[in-house]
Amino acid sequence: MYKILIVDDEPDIIGLLRRYAEREGYEVTSADDGSRALELCRRNDYDVIVMDVMMPDMDGFTACKKIHEFKDIPVLMLSARGTEYDKLFGFEVGVDDYVTKPFSPKEIMARIKVIISRHSAKKPAKNSRITAGGIEVDTLGHNVYIDGEKTELTAKEYGILIYLIENKGIVLSRDKILNAVWGYDYFGDDRTVDWQIKLLRNKLGNYRDMIHTIRGVGYKFE
């Protein structure tokens, strides 16, 4: 049975999502703020976290970032704030998906299924080291080094980098990147790829230009 942690300071939302999740056969735990979610994640393992952004004591973005410091648990973020900046910041701290309120609980359940399926299917590459110029990737440890210095990437930034390097010299459309990194059932639009590429380039430093923008098509790694 898959385990879900629902984090929201609104009891009605927790109750609604709990009913739908338990109907789907999930084991549900809940928390009403980020600090409590952090405590639960230190003691337990979850297959996915559904977390609100605006909460007392510790907000969802901060909680997500802190949780990912010690556990790789995918996060679906809920928020009444749907601006491009909010979504971009969410992806930067490692959010897997971002849904604005009000939402359909059925859609949330569909997104949870996709996230769990994709996360469960992850397998380490046979070749544990991939290099491209001054970029070195340890695929077993999911570590990235730029000129020998470790660089922290979110799960999506890491997935995009691996996909681009493995397809070096090939023009990849935004849809192909979405399908490869987010999964075929991702509900978002292709602007998500542009946001993540921008964040990834910033972290690649002197090697940011190895990711080429192919206007009107997508991206290519050279």
pLDDT of 130 > 90? The answer is no
Q: Which two tokens stand for residue 26?
A: 């999930």
pLDDT digits (tens, 9 = 90+) for 137-173: 888 778 899 998 999 998 889 989 999 998 888 999 9
pLDDT digits (tens, 9 = 90+) for 25-69: 999 999 999 999 999 999 898 999 999 998 888 989 899 989 988
Domains and CATH numbers, the chain: 3-120 (3.40.50.2300), 129-221 (1.10.10.10)
Residue 22: which H helix or E strand, with range?
helix 11-23
pLDDT of 21 > 60? The answer is yes
What SS3 state is found at 100? Answer: strand
Please, what sign has the CA dihedral across residues 133, 143, 34, 112?
positive
What SS3 state is found at 45? Answer: coil
Phi and psi dihedrals of 52, rounded to 5? Answer: -80, 155
> How many CB atoms lie under 10 A from the CB of residue 104?
10
* Predicted local confidence at residue 125, as pLDDT: 45
pTM (2 d.p.):
0.59
* Predicted local confidence at residue 184, as pLDDT: 52
Query: Angle, to 10 degrees, between the axis of helix 34-43 and the axis of helix 60-67?
Result: 20
pLDDT digits (tens, 9 = 90+) for 206-219: 999 999 999 888 99
